[in-house]
Structure 1
Amino acid sequence: MKRANAITSALILALTSTALPLAAQDRDAAPRPQRGPGFDMSRMDTDGDGKVTREEMQAQAQKRFSDADANGDGEVTIDEIVAGMETQRTERMQKMAERMLKRADANEDGKLTADEMGPRNGDRMFAFLDADEDGAVTREEFERARKMFGDREARMNRGDHDHGKRWKSDRADKPRHD
Structure 2
Amino acid sequence: MRVPVLVACFAAAALPAAAAAQVMATGEYLARMDADGDGRVSLSEYQAWMSYAFDGMDRDGDGVLAAHEQPGGRGPPLARAVHLARLAERFGRQDANGDGWLDADELAAPPR
User: What TM-score comes out, normalization by structure 1 length?
Assistant: 0.29
Instruction: Considering Cα pairs closer than 8 Å and 6+ residues apart, tell me whether 1 or 2 has the greater RCO.
Output: 2
Structure index of larger Rg: 1
TM-score computed with the length of structure 2 as normaliser: 0.41
Greater fraction of residues in helix: 2
